[in-house]
Amino acid sequence: MSSPYMHATEMKPKDYKSDVSVVWCPGCGHHGILNGVYRALAEAGVDPTGLICVSGIGCSSRLPYFLQSYKMHTLHGRAAPVATGAAVVRPDLVNMISGGDGDGFAIGGGHMPHVARKNVNLTYVLMDNGIYGLTKGQYSPTSRPELKAYTTPYGGPEEPMNPMLYMLTYGATYVAQAFAGKPGLCADLIKGALEHKGFSYVHIFTQCPSYNKIDTIEFYRDLVTEIPEGHDTSDLGAAMELARRPGGKAPIGLFYKVDRPTLNDHLDEIVTKVGGHKDYDIQKVINLSRP
């Protein structure tokens, strides 16, 4: 179902700010992403009384505190299953996750295939700074081998993963990539994700000036490039080619978008088969499951 809390209010980006002071380090890219989130919510007309923001643990997972919304700050890596539960129980709410590369693809990596393939109706804003910042600089799944971090003083022993290829393969129905240094594009892509019915994944490069000294804002400015005009966002193969970073550049923009039934759509079908919510009988379900 489409949320009754979308396009339900006229608010300005500043109206989504909470009373909690933003505590990220000066120069952190998360500041630009937060401003993009504020703008996206305002342009999508999201009513804060119908918004839930779920996070795990990490610098990026502090975002719900700075946002006017219902919020759940959960265990490390467990934002996706908690948000899935919220989406199933309250499909009318606007459901968003904020998290980082470690929270989403290391500790929480086992949940990512399932939240995508189930097409849970929520938006995942993942802030990738290639480091564990909150715990003072450990190597993450997206760290480059050149990074000499707290846990890898001689550089990394492994190649970084490609989250975009993973999410396209897992079955996410809205996949986009952005850069914190372009908050306007962040806002546009997050707005599109919020308005999409199904699982939306927005991957955002963001610099950590405190613990990642090689992935600077200048590095990302040179790395990213706009997706060429004419890209077919319904073509999964074309989206995967972009994710492979042709020419060594990381494209930013909307990679892929497709419509298919959500987890709630499938659950509603099951409820209908057992007679609807009013006549729901657990014994009837047990009998139907027997050979």
pLDDT in tens, 47-74: 999 999 999 999 999 999 999 999 999 9
Which pLDDT belongs to residue 37?
A: 98
As a whole number, mean pLDDT of residues 165-187 equals: 97
99 and 120 assigned to the same domain? yes
83 and 202 assigned to the same domain? yes
Residue 41 domain flag = yes
As a whole number, mean pLDDT of residues 69-86 equals: 96
Residue 176 domain flag = yes
Which pLDDT belongs to residue 289?
A: 52
288 and 197 assigned to the same domain? no
**Alpha-carbon distance 263 to 282, whole Å?**
20
Range list of β-strands (E), the chain: 51-55, 70-73, 94-100, 122-128, 174-179, 199-205, 224-226, 250-257
236 and 277 assigned to the same domain? no
Query: Residue 27 pLDDT > 60, yes or no?
Result: yes
* Domain range enclosing 281: 261-291
As a whole number, mean pLDDT of residues 40-53 equals: 96
Of residues 218 and 285, more confidence is placed in 218
274 and 133 assigned to the same domain? no
149 and 209 assigned to the same domain? yes
Q: What's the domain count of the chain?
A: 2
Residue 45's pLDDT band (cuts 50, 70, 90):
very high
Residue 291's pLDDT band (cuts 50, 70, 90):
low
92 and 35 assigned to the same domain? yes
Residue 92 domain flag = yes
Owner of token pair 């990679």: 255
**Alpha-carbon distance 73 to 219, whole Å?**
31
Which pLDDT belongs to residue 122?
A: 97
Give φ, ψ of 249 to 5 degrees. -100, 150
Which pLDDT belongs to residue 278?
A: 62
Which pLDDT belongs to residue 280?
A: 52
Average pLDDT, the chain: 93
Residue 241 domain flag = yes
| pLDDT tens digits, one per residue of 124-163 | 999 999 999 998 889 999 999 999 988 889 998 999 999 9
17 and 97 assigned to the same domain? yes
Residue 158 domain flag = yes
Cβ atoms within 10 Å of 288's Cβ, excluding its own: 10
Of 270, 269, 263, nearest to 119 by C-alpha is 263
Residue 3 domain flag = no
Domain at 46, CATH number: 3.40.50.970
284 and 172 assigned to the same domain? no
CA torsion 114-117-118-124 (nearest 10°) is 70
Owner of token pair 């119908």: 50
Share of the chain above pLDDT 70, in %: 94
Which pLDDT belongs to residue 275?
A: 78
- pTM listed for this prediction: 0.93
Residue 268 domain flag = yes
Q: Are 256 and 236 in contact (CB under 8 A)?
A: yes
| pLDDT tens digits, one per residue of 213-272 | 999 999 999 999 999 999 999 999 999 999 999 999 999 999 999 999 999 999 999 888
Query: Residue 197 pLDDT > 90, yes or no?
Result: yes
The residue type of 132 is Y
97 and 46 assigned to the same domain? yes
Exposure b/e, 184-212, CB count within 10 A at least 16 = b? ebbbbbbbbbbbbbbbbbbbbbbbbbbbb
Which pLDDT belongs to residue 9?
A: 84
Q: Are 172 and 255 in contact (CB under 8 A)?
A: no
269 and 255 assigned to the same domain? no
Residue 5 domain flag = no
Both tokens of residue 44? 């999508």
**Alpha-carbon distance 14 to 42, whole Å?**
9
Helices (H) and strands (E) in the chain, counts: 10, 8
Of 102, 125, 221, nearest to 172 by C-alpha is 125
277 and 249 assigned to the same domain? no
CA torsion 164-165-167-168 (nearest 10°) is 110
